[in-house]
């Protein structure tokens, strides 16, 4: 707070002196709102579903071609974009627990890339982090067995230090993992009908339609777009045909934090977080979502009704100055839901969604702690692909602690694991962080503790990543790597 006051006073002094009048102007222009301003003239695009081809014995093969192309992102303009099996974004992959899968990832982009399966439990060599680079013209063919609970995951490039740019150009897609338990639940599950992907990305455009990569003079987090695209659709509407609609929210933005709600304040039910279903639905009116996070919500509509999915100004926990330049004062209309005159009846949501799995280990001292500092380091170190930052025993559950020692918004994502938040900013995990997670927002000055379920794929040579999912921070080096090993770890 004191730093906020000092920087504010400095700004005021400069402005009064006429020296920094520009800063005052920048401050005044730094917030964005599209609330009440969209015409919702465009039908929401639904990414095609890709189920994989059975290859002989028991492998499901997915062909993914990373390519360039042009898209009409803003109506009437043409934008050069990147995508998977198409010019922008990629298909939604449907994977089933127990299946053996093989991905055939062909890089037809003009740059080296990788494809990372965010939230997937898999061997490090199949993870698609910065070490599994695919050169232009090459194909990468990782395989693994799907071994995790029903959840909404996603895939995106991870080449260091170009994740920021490549995801912004449009290389990203959703993954739906299904399992038998979840498929028995009476949940909305017809893809694109009452089970709807909602991929949120913010972009800036030049007048001629080109993507604008500039980052704003004082933005502490990088690109913040003034236009929000949902599944690549500008100002979208979705025709609702059932009483209950399940929205699978994915924040695939570079830096923007959303605060999801409905325009009339009606509550919705949160049923799943990053890595699976909650024990029971939780009624919420607001849901924060930082980059990389997912959430499944169920929204009820009456026949003929309209409701707008909106992002309210998010509480970033920053001082007002940093918050304003990190999007903390921004609000957006995202998607209009239009209910038909008659709606299919939906069964009520089940009271129990998944077995109760309270965190198993009593929180003592943390096994590992990490400090996020500035805009590009962890524990004072920038990412070094040749340095292993931590070694962890396969199959263990460890208490990790992450502190945001800066005034800047950060979050924290760990590859190959899932975790449960046990302590959040001095209190208990709020309801929206009570389920299985792999990415968590860490407010400035605060500490988050979580129990990490380490994977059981040991490999002393190939690391998994942990990093801030604000992509500019990640690319600047706010990333580390750990290996999972069989033996007791060296300390």
> Cβ distance 220 to 408 under 8 Å?
yes
Q: Which residues share a beta bridge with 209?
A: none
d(CA 112, CA 106): 11
Closest to ligand C2O by CB, 131 vs 413, is 413
Alpha-helical runs (H) found in 96-206: 163-169, 180-184
> Cβ distance 409 to 316 under 8 Å?
yes
Q: Identify residues 94-133 at the interface with ligand C2O (CB under 6 A).
A: 116, 118
Q: Which range, of 26-34, 94-102, 397-405, 409-417, touches Cu ion by CB under 5 A?
A: 409-417
Element (H, E) at 16: helix 2-16
Write the DSSP string, 438-451.
SEEEE-TT-EEEEE
Q: Which does 310 bind (CB under 5 to 8 A by kind): ligand C2O, Cu ion, none?
A: none
Q: Which residue sits closest to ligand C2O, CB atoms considered?
A: 118
Using CA atoms, how far residue 317 sits from 64, 263, 322, 327, in Å, is: 39, 23, 10, 12
Q: Pick the closest to residue 437 from 451, 426, 423, 458 (CA basis).
A: 451
> Cβ distance 466 to 412 under 8 Å?
yes
CB of 407 to ligand C2O, least distance (A): 24
Closest to ligand C2O by CB, 73 vs 172, is 172
Closest to ligand C2O by CB, 211 vs 479, is 479
d(CA 154, CA 391): 26
Is 256 near ligand C2O (CB under 6 A)? no
Q: Which residues share a beta bridge with 107?
A: 66
> Cβ distance 415 to 116 under 8 Å?
yes
Phi-psi region of 271 (alpha: psi -120 to 50; beta: other; left: phi over 0): alpha
CB of 258 to ligand C2O, least distance (A): 16
Q: How many residues bind ligand C2O (CB under 6 A)?
A: 10
Site string for Cu ion, 466-485 (x = CB under 5 A): --x-x--x------------
Closest to ligand C2O by CB, 354 vs 454, is 454
Is 418 near ligand C2O (CB under 6 A)? no
Closest to ligand C2O by CB, 123 vs 292, is 292
Q: Which does 468 bind (CB under 5 to 8 A by kind): ligand C2O, Cu ion, none?
A: Cu ion
Closest to ligand C2O by CB, 333 vs 453, is 453
Q: Which does 88 bind (CB under 5 to 8 A by kind): Cu ion, ligand C2O, none?
A: none
Closest to Cu ion by CB, 127 vs 336, is 127
> Cβ distance 214 to 239 under 8 Å?
no
Q: Which does 158 bind (CB under 5 to 8 A by kind): Cu ion, ligand C2O, none?
A: ligand C2O
Q: Which range, of 4-12, 49-57, 347-355, 462-470, touches ligand C2O by CB under 6 A?
A: 462-470
Furthest CA-CA distance within the chain: 76
Is 403 near Cu ion (CB under 5 A)? no
Q: Which does 292 bind (CB under 5 to 8 A by kind): ligand C2O, Cu ion, none?
A: ligand C2O
Please state the φ and ψ torsions of residue 475, each to the nearest 5 degrees. -70, -25
CB of 409 to Cu ion, least distance (A): 7
CB of 350 to Cu ion, least distance (A): 29
Residues 6+ positions from 318 with CB-CB distance below 8 Å: 326, 328, 407, 408, 409, 443, 444
CB of 403 to Cu ion, least distance (A): 13
Q: Which range, of 97-105, 214-222, 379-387, 465-473, touches ligand C2O by CB under 6 A?
A: 465-473
Is 410 near Cu ion (CB under 5 A)? yes
d(CA 54, CA 73): 34
Choose which of 415, 418, 449, 467 interacts with Cu ion (CB under 5 A).
415
Q: Pick the closest to residue 260 from 306, 213, 200, 303 (CA basis).
A: 200
Residues 6+ positions from 276 with CB-CB distance below 8 Å: 148, 149, 150, 151, 354, 418, 435, 436
Site string for ligand C2O, 156-175 (x = CB under 6 A): x-x-----------------
d(CA 166, CA 223): 13
> Cβ distance 447 to 405 under 8 Å?
no
Is 465 near ligand C2O (CB under 6 A)? yes
Closest to ligand C2O by CB, 293 vs 296, is 293
Q: Which does 470 bind (CB under 5 to 8 A by kind): ligand C2O, Cu ion, none?
A: Cu ion
Choose which of 170, 216, 292, 327 interacts with ligand C2O (CB under 6 A).
292
- Cis bond before residue 350 (omega within 30° of 0): no
CB of 287 to ligand C2O, least distance (A): 19
Q: Which range, of 20-28, 239-247, 408-416, 417-425, touches Cu ion by CB under 5 A?
A: 408-416
Closest to ligand C2O by CB, 170 vs 261, is 170
- What is the contact surface with ligand C2O in residues (CB under 6 A)? 116, 118, 156, 158, 292, 413, 415, 465, 467, 469
- What is the contact surface with Cu ion in residues (CB under 5 A)? 118, 410, 415, 468, 470, 473
């Amino acid at each position: 707070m004191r730093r906020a006051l000092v920087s504010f006073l400095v700004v005021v002094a400069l402005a009064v002196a006429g020296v920094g009048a520009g800063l005052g102007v920048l401050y005044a222009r730094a917030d964005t709102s599209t609330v009440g301003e969209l015409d919702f003239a465009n039908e929401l695009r639904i990414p095609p579903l890709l189920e994989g081809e059975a290859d002989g014995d028991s492998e499901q093969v997915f062909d993914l071609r990373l390519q360039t192309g042009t898209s009409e992102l803003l109506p009437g303009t043409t934008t050069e974009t990147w995508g998977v099996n198409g010019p922008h974004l990629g298909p939604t992959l449907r994977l089933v627990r127990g299946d053996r899968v093989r991905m055939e990832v062909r890089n037809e982009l003009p740059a080296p890339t990788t494809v990372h399966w965010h939230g997937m439990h898999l061997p490090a060599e199949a993870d698609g982090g910065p070490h599994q680079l695919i050169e232009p013209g090459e194909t990468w063919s990782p395989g693994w067995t799907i071994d995790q609970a029903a959840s909404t995951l996603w895939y995106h490039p991870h080449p260091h230090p170009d994740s920021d740019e490549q995801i912004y150009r449009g290389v990203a897609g959703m993954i739906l993992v299904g399992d038998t338990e979840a498929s028995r639940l009476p949940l909305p599950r017809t893809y694109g009908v009452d089970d709807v992907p909602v991929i949120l990305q913010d972009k800036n455009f030049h007048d001629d339609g080109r993507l604008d990569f500039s980052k704003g003079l004082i933005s502490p987090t990088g690109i913040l777009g003034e236009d929000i695209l949902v599944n690549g659709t500008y100002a979208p509407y979705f025709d609702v045909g059932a009483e209950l609609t399940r929205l699978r929210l994915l924040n695939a933005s570079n830096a923007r934090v959303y605060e999801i709600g409905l325009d009339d304040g009606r509550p919705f039910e949160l049923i799943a977080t990053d890595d699976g279903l909650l024990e029971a639905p939780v009624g919420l009116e607001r849901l924060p979502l930082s980059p990389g996070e997912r959430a499944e919500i169920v929204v009820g509509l009456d026949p003929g009704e309209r409701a707008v999915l909106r992002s309210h100004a998010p509480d970033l926990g920053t001082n007002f100055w940093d918050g304003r330049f990190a999007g903390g004062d921004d609000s957006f209309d995202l998607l209009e839901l239009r209910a038909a005159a008659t709606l299919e009846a939906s069964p009520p949501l089940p009271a129990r969604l998944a077995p109760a799995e309270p965190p198993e280990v009593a929180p003592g001292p943390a096994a590992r702690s990490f400090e996020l500092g500035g805009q590009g380091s962890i524990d004072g170190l920038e990412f070094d692909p040749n340095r292993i930052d931590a070694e962890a025993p396969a199959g263990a559950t460890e208490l990790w602690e992450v502190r945001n020692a800066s005034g800047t918004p950060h979050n924290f994502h760990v590859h190959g694991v899932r975790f449960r938040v046990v302590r959040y900013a001095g209190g208990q995990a709020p309801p929206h962080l009570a389920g299985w997670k792999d990415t968590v927002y860490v407010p400035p000055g605060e500490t988050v503790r979580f129990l990490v379920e380490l994977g059981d794929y040991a490999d002393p040579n190939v690391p998994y990543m942990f990093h801030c999912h604000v992509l500019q921070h990640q690319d600047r080096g706010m990333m580390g790597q750990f290996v999972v090993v069989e033996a007791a770890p060296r300390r």
